[in-house]
A and B are shown apart, each in its own frame.
Chain A
Amino acid sequence: MRLFQRCITLAICFIPMFSHLAIAQEESYIEGLVVDFKSNQSVPGANVYWKNNPTEGVTTSPEGTFKLPYKKLPAFLIVSFIGYEQIEREITSRDLGKNLKIYLREDQLDLQEVTVNSTRPDQNVKSLDMGKSVVPIETIKNIPALFGEVDLLRSLQLLPGVQTAGEGTTGLFVRGGSADQNLLQIDGAPIYNPSHFFGFFSVFNPDAIHGVDFYKGNIPANYGGRISSLIDISLKEGNFDKIKGEGGIGTISSRLTVDGPLFSDKSSFVVSARRTYADLFLRLSSDPNINNNDLYFYDLSGKAVFKIGDKDKLTVSSYFGSDFLGLSGQFGFGWSNWMGAATWNRNISDRMFFDLNAYSSRYNYKVSFDDADNGFEWGNALGETGVKATWNYHFSEQTKVNWGSHLQFYHFASIDLNPAPNSAIQPLASNPFNGLQINPFVSLNHEISDKIGVEAGLRWSIYQQHGRGTSYTYEGNEPTPEAEIIDSLIFNRFERMKVYQGLEPRIAFRYLIREDLSLKIAANRAFQYLQVASNSSAGLPLDRWILAGTYIPPIRGDQFSVGLFKNFNKDTWEVSLEGYYKDMKNLIDLRQGASVLFTDRVETEILVGDGYAYGVEFLLRKNVGKTTGWFSYAYARTWRKIEGISFDRWYNPRFDRPHDLNLVLNHQFDKQWSANLTFVYTTGQAVTFPAGSYVVDSQRLPLYTGERNADRFPDYHRMDASVTWKNVNRGKKWRGSWNFSIYNLYGRKNPFSYQFTEIFNEQINFTPTSNDPITSRRPGTVMTYLFTFLPSLTYNFEF
C-alpha cells in the first residue's frame, strides 16, 4: 500500500511538469485520418512515417487519426498496415491545415493469410501493457472448436494464466481468481452469465464480435468492479459501403450476420443471429417422450453507427441471448441475458476526446412446473445500469491523460416464487438487493524518456447498499444459521443501508533495455462489491449474486507483476516472461449444506476468508507469416483460507492447476487450404477423494478427511485439429469455406468427474426397483469423461 501511495503521489506531482513540457514543444505537425478504401471505415494501428525518417513514425489512433511532426516539406509520407497496400504520398506545404484522408486498399495477394491486428507490431515491447492480450477475432475463428462452435471464452483459456473449471466449460479462472471475478462486458455493458447450455458454450457469436481486449492484471483505472480480469468485447460495426453478409451452418447451430450502410454513407448497421437446432431434430422423432421436448439457445445482436459531422460518432448496440430447456410442456427452464448500450465519441479538439457510454444489462432465469398439486413458477432477475464519461487529453505524443467517472446502479430483484392456485407450496417473500456505486478515475500515461514510461492511475470506488431492503441483527452480531434474529431494520427505497469505499491505485513502469527488449513492473488494487454465492466450481444459471452489505464486505484484490518482453526478427516473433503475486481479501464460500437460492438471510450461509495466488507465465508468439500461433507455459498456484473450511488451513480451490501448457498453430498452405492444431496440457484439478467408508442409515458413505482438495485428477491433455478449405474465386459474390475439425484427436479420456458410490449388481448405472432388486453391492468409483474424438463439420460463407 505504501508503494501505491508513493507512486500515486509521484504521478500527481508529475502532471503539471508534463503539461509544461508539452507547451514548451513548438513542433509542427501534419494531421490526418486513415480509412479503408472499400468500407470507408477508419484503420487503427496503421504505421505513418516520413520516407526519409522511417524510425520516428506514429501509429493511427483507435479512431484512425494520426498526428506526425515534420521538419521540412515537401516530403514523402508512407502509410502502411498489414493486409493493405502501402501508400506513398508527397506532402507539400499546401496540405498544411487540411485534414488529410489517406485511403488504404486491401492487399489482394495476402489478405486471406494475414491476421489483422489493431496494434503496432512492437506493442508487446514498447507499450505499458502488462498481462494484456489482444486476441484478433480471426485468430479465434481459426482455433479448432468443440462441436465446431467457435468460442471466444474457450479460446482465451489457451492463454497462459487462464484456467478452466473442467472439460468443455467456458468459465475462466484468471491468475488464481474465481469466475465471478472477471468483468466481462460487451460495448461497456457487463454480462452476468456469459454461458449457454450450462456453461459449455459462451454467449458470443464470433461473427458479431469486432475484437476482444483481455486484461489479466494491471487493469487501467478507467475500468473496475472486478479484481481478476477484464474481458472487454466490442461488437462489430457495419461497413459504410454496401450490404454484406457472412454466416455458417454448423453441427449444432447456424448463424448469420448482415451489415451495411444505413440511410447514408454516414451511418451503418450490423445484425447477427445464431440458433441451435437440436430441438428441431427432436421434433422429428415419432416418440412423444422425445418430440415434446425443447432444448435450444439463441443469440441476437445489433449495432448501429452514426457519424455526425467530423467530430462526433454515436453507436447504439444491443445483445439478447436465451436458453431454454423444456420437457413435455410441463417443465420449463430458461435463462437470458440482455444488454443495451449507447456510446457517444466526440473529438473536442485535436488533443481532447470525450466518450460517453450508457448501458443497461439484465440477466434473468425462470423455472416453471405445470402440476396441479405442486406446480409453481420461480424466477429471479438481476440488472446493472450505468453511465461512464471519459475525457482523454493528449498533451503530446509522450503524455496522455484520461479522467472521468463511472456510475453504476445494481438491482438484484427478490426471489419470485408463485405456486399454482391449488399448490401445497406457499409463495416466498424475500428482499431485493440494491446498490449504487460511483467511481471517479484519473490516469496518466507518460514517456519520461526514450526508455522509461509510466502509467499511473487512481480509481476511487464509493459503494452504497440501499433500500428497499431489510437488514437483520443477529444474536451476538454473528450471522450463523443457528443465531436468533434480535432486530430487523426495514429500509425504504434509496435509503442508505451500508457504505464502503476504497482507493484503487494502478501503476505500471516500462524500461526499454533495448529497442526490442523491455522490463515492465506493475501494481494494481481493485475492489469488488458483488460476488456469486456458490459452492460449485462451474457457473450455473441459478447462481445467486449478492451485493456487499452489512455482513459481507467487498473483495479487495492487490496484484503485483513484473515482466520481460522481447521481439525477434523484425517483430515477427514476440516472447514474454511475466511473474505475478495476487492477494485477495474477503472472498466468500458457503457453509456445508448451505442453501442460498431462497433464503432471505443469505449472510447466515456464507463464510468469509482470504486468498493468494502467484505464478510465472511464458509466451512465445508468432503473429505474421504462413505459420502463426503461440506456445505458452505457466506455473501458477492459488490458495484460499476460509474459517470453517479445511480445518481453517490454506487449501487449493479446484482450479489450482500448477502446470499449464498450450500450443496453438495455424498454417496457411496456400490460398485455399489451411490447417490448425492446438495442444493443451494441465495438471489435474484439485479435488477431494475419500479415505475410507462407513455406514449410516443403511447407506454406505465415502469418508473424507476434512481437508479440501488435497487430491488430484490425472493430468489433463488434449489435441484438437482442423482443416479449412476456402473458395477463393474472387469473381463470385458468394464465397464459401468448409471447416472440418476434430476435438480430442487422440481420444484421451480426461475425467470430468469421479463418483464414489456403491456399485449394485455389478452395473455402474443400476437403479433398483421392486421388480429388479439388489443382489450384490460393493463400493466403487465411476469415472465420467466427455468428448472423446469429436468430429464436426461447418460450412461458412460470405456474400
Chain B
Amino acid sequence: MKRIFIAIFIAICFSSCQEEVVLDLNTLEPIPVIEAIWTNVPNFNQVTITTSREYYDDSPNEVIEDAQVSVRNLQTGRSANFIYNEQLKKYLPSNNQIGQIGQEYELSVIIKDKAYVSKGVLLAPPILDSITYEFKDQRVFRDEGYYITLFGDIPFDKDNYYRLRVVKNDTLLNRRSDYLLFDDTFGTQILNRGFELGGFTFAAGDRVRLELFRLNKNAYDYLSQLVSLLFNDGGLFSPPPQNPVSNIFPLEHDGNVLGYFMVSPYIGASVLIEEED
C-alpha cells in the first residue's frame, strides 16, 4: 500500500526530474549465487550457479559449471544428484527425480571445496478448482481487457506462503510488478471467494497458465525482500537497501553466498481466453 502512495506522489511531482548518472562504486569479490528449485514435478527442478560482478558490467554473469550439487531426502536419506547441462547452463537432477509431498529436503552445493547447504519441506499444495475470465471496461487502476479469476481452497491453518506465476502465451511474466506473493495476513478465503488477478490484462486468444507454489517461510521472505529491493528507489520513503536474506548457508566456512532454495509443491492450470459475445 505504501508503495502505491509513493508511486502516486512521485508520479505527480517528480516525473520530469530524473536523469541517468554513473557513480563511482566499489566492487566486491565475486560471490556465488545459487538458485535452487525443488518441486514434486519434473520440469521445474533445477539449480543455477553464477557469480556476482561489477555493478555497471553488462556482460552475462559467470556461470559456475563444475560444482557438485545434490538434494537429499532427510527422511529416507536418498539423494538426487544434479548434472550440469551445457545448453541450459543449469544443473538438472539425474533421472528427472522429483520430491515427495511431506518430505524434508537438504540442498548441498560444493564449489571449489566450499560447501553450501539449505533445507526445506515440500508442503502439501492447496486446491485449485477452476479458472474463469471476464471482460471488463476501463476504470481507475484497471485497463480494459479480460481478467482472470482463480477459484480453490486453502485448507491449512499455518505455513500459508504462496507465489503465483503467470505464463502468458508461453512467456513467464517477470516484470517487478508481475510478482504475486500472498500469505494469510488477510485470511485464507482468498481462493474460495475467487482471486482475481487484478494487475494482469489479457486479450482474446491468449493462452494463460497459472503456476501456484506453496513456499517455506524463508523462501517466501526471500522473494518478498527481492521484490521490495526491485521497488526500492533509494529515497527517503524506502528502507535502507539490503540483500534479500538467503536461506542457503556456508557449511563450516565464512564465505558469502547469495540466492535461495525453493522447496514447493506445484499446481498449475491453463485457460484459453475466447472472445465473449
Residues of A within 8 A of B (CB): 165-166, 169, 198-199, 289, 292, 295, 325, 327-328, 330-331, 333, 367, 373-374, 417, 422-426, 428, 482, 535-538, 540, 542, 590, 592-593, 595, 597-598, 654, 687-699, 701-706, 708-709, 749, 752-757, 759, 764-765, 767-768, 770, 778-786, 788
Do A768 and B195 touch (CB < 8 A)?
no
Q: Mark B1-35, 1 if CB is under 8 A from A, else 0.
A: 11001001110111101111111011110110101
Do A692 and B224 touch (CB < 8 A)?
no
Do B226 and A701 touch (CB < 8 A)?
yes
Known: A536-B239, A694-B50. A784 touches B233 (CB 8 A): yes
- Is B175 positioned at the interface, with any CB of A under 8 Å from its CB? yes
Cβ–Cβ < 8 Å partners of A699 in chain B: 174, 176, 226, 230
A542-B230 Cα distance, complex, nearest whole Å: 22
- Which residue of the partner chain, among A424, A590, A765, A780, contacts B195 with CB atoms under 8 Å? A424
- Which residue of the partner chain, among A597, A778, A783, contacts B21 with CB atoms under 8 Å? A783
Cβ–Cβ < 8 Å partners of A331 in chain B: 140-141
Cβ–Cβ < 8 Å partners of A166 in chain B: 235-236
Closest to A542 in B: B2
Cβ–Cβ < 8 Å partners of B228 in chain A: 593
Known: A331-B140, A693-B53, A696-B33. A753 touches B194 (CB 8 A): no
Q: Shortest CB–CB separation between residue A285 and chain B, in angstroms?
A: 14
A228-B100 Cα distance, complex, nearest whole Å: 57
A430-B50 Cα distance, complex, nearest whole Å: 44
Cβ–Cβ < 8 Å partners of A702 in chain B: 55, 229, 241
Do A327 and B140 touch (CB < 8 A)?
yes
Task: Pick the most buried of A331, A538, A755, A788: most chain B CB atoms within 10 A of its CB.
Answer: A755
Do A704 and B242 touch (CB < 8 A)?
yes
Cβ–Cβ < 8 Å partners of B33 in chain A: 694-696
A198-B54 Cα distance, complex, nearest whole Å: 36
Q: Shortest CB–CB separation between residue B226 and chain A, in angstroms?
A: 7
Total A-B residue pairs with C-beta atoms closer than 8 Å?
222
Q: Shortest CB–CB separation between residue A651 and chain B, in angstroms?
A: 9
A-B contact pairs, 26 of them (CB 8 A): A199-B236, A289-B140, A325-B8, A327-B8, A327-B140, A424-B189, A424-B195, A692-B52, A693-B52, A694-B31, A694-B259, A695-B61, A697-B223, A702-B55, A705-B26, A705-B28, A708-B240, A749-B19, A752-B235, A753-B233, A755-B234, A756-B241, A764-B20, A767-B175, A782-B21, A785-B18
Do A687 and B234 touch (CB < 8 A)?
yes
**What 8 A-B pairs have minimum CB-CB distances, sorted nearest first?**
A426-B187, A753-B235, A538-B236, A535-B239, A328-B140, A694-B52, A778-B58, A424-B193
Cβ–Cβ < 8 Å partners of A482 in chain B: 217
Task: Pick the most buried of B51, B56, B174, B234: most chain A CB atoms within 10 A of its CB.
Answer: B234
Residues of B within 8 A of A (CB): 1-2, 5, 8-10, 12-15, 17-23, 25-28, 30-31, 33, 35, 50-58, 61, 139-141, 168, 172, 174-176, 185-187, 189-190, 193-196, 198, 217, 221, 223-226, 228-230, 232-245, 258-260
Do B242 and A592 touch (CB < 8 A)?
yes
Q: Shortest CB–CB separation between residue A384 and chain B, in angstroms?
A: 25
Closest to B21 in A: A783
Do B17 and A786 touch (CB < 8 A)?
yes
Do B185 and A759 touch (CB < 8 A)?
no
A250-B189 Cα distance, complex, nearest whole Å: 51
Do B196 and A428 touch (CB < 8 A)?
no
Cβ–Cβ < 8 Å partners of A169 in chain B: 236
Do B19 and A374 touch (CB < 8 A)?
no
Do B13 and A786 touch (CB < 8 A)?
yes
Do A593 and B225 touch (CB < 8 A)?
yes
A535-B228 Cα distance, complex, nearest whole Å: 13
Known: A593-B245, A691-B55, A764-B18. A536 touches B224 (CB 8 A): no
Known: A424-B190, A542-B2. A693 touches B55 (CB 8 A): yes
Cβ–Cβ < 8 Å partners of B168 in chain A: 770
Do B240 and A598 touch (CB < 8 A)?
no
Do A654 and B240 touch (CB < 8 A)?
yes
Do A696 and B226 touch (CB < 8 A)?
yes
Known: A325-B8, A424-B189, A755-B234. A691 touches B26 (CB 8 A): yes
A764-B232 Cα distance, complex, nearest whole Å: 15
Q: Shortest CB–CB separation between residue B124 and chain A, in angstroms?
A: 21
Q: Shortest CB–CB separation between residue B152 and chain A, in angstroms?
A: 12
Other than A704-B243, A705-B28, give 16 A-B pairs with Cβ distance below 8 A: A198-B9, A327-B140, A330-B140, A331-B141, A426-B189, A536-B236, A590-B239, A592-B225, A691-B28, A694-B31, A698-B172, A701-B229, A701-B244, A749-B19, A765-B15, A782-B21
Closest to A695 in B: B61
Do B27 and A692 touch (CB < 8 A)?
yes
- Which residue of the partner chain, among B27, B54, B141, B225, contacts A330 with CB atoms under 8 Å? B141
Q: Shortest CB–CB separation between residue A55 and chain B, in angstroms?
A: 52
Cβ–Cβ < 8 Å partners of A784 in chain B: 10, 14, 17-18, 233, 235
Cβ–Cβ < 8 Å partners of B12 in chain A: 295
Cβ–Cβ < 8 Å partners of A706 in chain B: 242-243
A688-B241 Cα distance, complex, nearest whole Å: 7
Do A756 and B19 touch (CB < 8 A)?
no
Task: Pick the most buried of B51, B58, B260: most chain A CB atoms within 10 A of its CB.
Answer: B58
Known: A426-B187, A708-B240, A784-B233. A691 touches B260 (CB 8 A): no
A437-B159 Cα distance, complex, nearest whole Å: 40
Q: Shortest CB–CB separation between residue B151 and chain A, in angstroms?
A: 11
A304-B5 Cα distance, complex, nearest whole Å: 38
Cβ–Cβ < 8 Å partners of A689 in chain B: 23, 25-26
Do A694 and B18 touch (CB < 8 A)?
no
A696-B228 Cα distance, complex, nearest whole Å: 14
Closest to B13 in A: A786
A327-B198 Cα distance, complex, nearest whole Å: 17
Known: A374-B198, A694-B31, A779-B55. A422 touches B139 (CB 8 A): no
Cβ–Cβ < 8 Å partners of B8 in chain A: 325, 327
Cβ–Cβ < 8 Å partners of A425 in chain B: 186-187
Do B238 and A536 touch (CB < 8 A)?
yes
Cβ–Cβ < 8 Å partners of B51 in chain A: 694
Known: A694-B53, A784-B233. A426 touches B224 (CB 8 A): no
Known: A373-B196, A374-B196. A701 touches B230 (CB 8 A): yes
Known: A328-B140, A697-B226. A538 touches B14 (CB 8 A): no
Cβ–Cβ < 8 Å partners of B258 in chain A: 694, 696, 703
A693-B28 Cα distance, complex, nearest whole Å: 9
Cβ–Cβ < 8 Å partners of A374 in chain B: 196, 198
Do B234 and A426 touch (CB < 8 A)?
no
Closest to B23 in A: A781
A699-B244 Cα distance, complex, nearest whole Å: 13
Cβ–Cβ < 8 Å partners of B226 in chain A: 696-697, 699, 701
Cβ–Cβ < 8 Å partners of B17 in chain A: 752, 784-786, 788
Do A782 and B19 touch (CB < 8 A)?
yes
Q: Shortest CB–CB separation between residue A46 and chain B, in angstroms?
A: 44
Closest to A704 in B: B243
- Which residue of the partner chain, among A367, A592, A752, contacts B1 with CB atoms under 8 Å? A367
Do A703 and B239 touch (CB < 8 A)?
no
A690-B225 Cα distance, complex, nearest whole Å: 16
Do A422 and B193 touch (CB < 8 A)?
yes
Cβ–Cβ < 8 Å partners of A693 in chain B: 52-55, 57
